[in-house]
Structure 1
Amino acid sequence: MTQTVGFLLNPVAGMGGAVGLKGTDGQAEEALRRGAVPHARDRAVQALSLLKSDDIAWCTCAAPMGGDVLALAGIDRFTVLYRPEKPTAAADTKAACRAFLDAGVDLVVFCGGDGTARDVFDAVGREVPILGIPAGVKMYSAVFAVNSAAAADLIRQAGRTGCRDSEVMDVDEEAYRSGRLAARLYGYACVPFIPERTQGGKQVFEQQDEERAKDEIAVFIGEIMLPDTLYIVGAGSTTARIVERLGLPATLLGVDAVRNGEVVARDADEKTLLALLDEYPRAKIIVSPIGAQGFVLGRGNQQISPGVLRKAGLRNLIVIATPAKLAATPLLYVDSGDPVLDREVGDTLQVISGYRIAQRKRVVHHG
């Protein structure tokens, strides 16, 4: 039986990540001014090109919200149900979803981030399943595939696999840009589910033991820091504790660069990190996975781009996490936007979880 799928793209999703804006809602022009390059279309093409031979009846929007993506993916038969205004806005996403529902689609697929997920959910609710191809900055909602290849698997099997109730999160981007995570549960969407292909929601750990574990990790990292070495420190409270233990100010939800006990860049974007690596080629990158989701790269730290990772060298990637976070995070994922680089990370990663303590965790790859 032919499956009918409605597809839409948020063309500006994720543009704020690499340039350090921590989100793109209302910031697309500023992202472009800083040199951001749209990448959501590429993410969508990666997924949809894997489905060009499948028996799917596609409904979509006119460019730049879908029809051009399907054509680039090699899908030449689709129905355009909605023509957006330019520049596109949240109202276009909602109107397109309503058109999909009127057409009787079996599944709504969107490419974007948390803001797009919220707009899709506003229009669709629980009438039909929804699925996100990840292209945003944070993606704390649990309605996304782990990467583009996993999204293709989920779309292909949506009529046969089960669905689960998955959290749609409303993240305050203004607070996030100022270094404060303010997120609330927006609702529960029906989402196709296959283990290791559908991502989980972010968990936040606040127990007293967590704070002690963060201190132990920070002490250990401080002891092994090398002189004349650039340390690129990713987002999160565990990584921020390292910078704070050095007596330096830390950017909780951004990327800092430290060398010889001094901050050489705060809340750095990709361009700044690449320039620093030209000046200081001896470098280490310290990141922590998102709790429960398990993403080491590609969620909330797009400033640490494939270019930055290759320049520093994957052998210089240091992953840290508290024991409680690791206990709730059975698998790790990487979704840098470069599938070849993601594979080079390997099938396991060592994760420092305490003072001179580490665990080896499995890394799951798709595609």
Structure 2
Amino acid sequence: MTVPLTECERHPMTQLGSTPRAALDRMIAGAGAGRSQLADIVDEIGPVQVTDIVIAELGHRTELRGCVPADTSLLFEHRGKIFGVLARAGATGEFEATRLADPTAADPDVTVEQSLSEVVASLFGPRGTAAAATRSIKWRDTDAVFGVSLPIFETVRRILDSIDRPYALGLGELCVAHGSDKWGLHQYTQHYESHFEAIRDRPLTVLEIGVGGYSDPRRGGESLRMWRDYFCRATVFGVDIVDKTALSGQRMTVLRGDQSVPADLAEIVRTTGLLDIIIDDGSHLGSHIITSFRALFPALRDGGWYVIEDLQTSYWPSFAEHSGDHTKSPTAIDFVKTLIDGLNYAEADNRTDRDTDAQIKGLHFYHNMVFIEKGANRGAGAPQWVRNA
């Protein structure tokens, strides 16, 4: 007997009690610990809920387009008990799953059994954590699969690759797969990878301003999905002036807010907590970019990154906020140029200090974008006699 997963079960962040994010964060943190500690965390959250989280994660990581709709029984063992689901490729290649009320009664094409803790460690752990020591694979018709390669193999391989190789796909591949515009007309992914690849397997909190899809509440989220799948242990937030909260899912929450309103941004930070990465891909108006930076930069952790995209709009009359006259208000480019002065504040005489001067340790400029690196910038300037020599 199979029991279809409800919509809440497909997005189990809504199912983990009064503090759903805390439970998911606990599991992600535990995925980097030892197996015995992780097993205790599974006990705390509950193996049924953890199974739902695993299946929801496989649902967005597994691409089954072109695969045969083979029935795959996924059985997860925990403390001697089995928690099972029946997975298959849907009509359009999506990963579909239904819970097995009696895992022993199913008659699938293939049965994969593995320790639940081992699967969690593989999906949500840092690099090098993935393992399949407890896994067994049993084919229903051994004679049919002996010595031949069958289409069902590709279906099962892709499901298991989603568990075993969480960091296999590069950002460019994920960008194109999800339909984000950060690769194509823009070539942003190469720069993101150069800065983010080293921290890809950390339990990060990421915020992107601008969800996409314009005024349609059901469209957008392409870049958020890309970040969710690139940072396998991250919690990803998006914010948009249009209500796109319906796009939220596991490890991806969409909030509504106006990036030009400090009160909205303060409320967003109360929801997200401290941030590791902030990306401004919002309105691209200079005043909005400056307001967002001033409101959000204090919430960025030391060692974090603040990225501003599409700086080319600073040169476009259509984005000037005073009848095409850029001289009447600072553009985003004007603003980030002041950050360069701040980076070298210790060398400049007769300059008014800014709060960010001692908090920005690096600025990395590329075509139409800038990466701002938060960290201590307290180096002493040259002695006065050298400056006046």
Q: What TM-score comes out, normalization by structure 1 length?
A: 0.29
Q: What TM-score comes out, normalization by structure 2 length?
A: 0.28
Larger Rg: 2
The structure whose RCO (Cα within 8 Å, separation 6+) is larger is: 1
Bigger helix fraction: 2
